Amino acid sequence: MSLEVQCFNCNGKFTLEHSDPQYAKIKTKQTKYYVCKSCNSSIKGEAIKQTGFDPKLLDPKGYDKLVP
Average pLDDT on 25-30 reads: 91
Residue 19 lies in a domain: yes
Helix ranges (DSSP H) in the chain:
21-27, 37-51
User: What is the torsional sign of CA 52, 56, 59, 62?
Assistant: positive
pLDDT of residue 1: 79
67 found inside a domain: no
Does residue 65 lie in a domain region? no
In the chain, how many domains are there?
A: 1
What is the domain extent for residue 27? 2-57
Q: Considering the domain boundaries, does residue 25 fall inside one?
A: yes
Q: Residue 62: inside a domain, yes or no?
A: no
> Is 64 domain-assigned?
no
pTM greater than 0.85 (yes/no)? no
Please determine, for residue 60, whether its predicted confidence score (pLDDT) is greater than 60.
yes
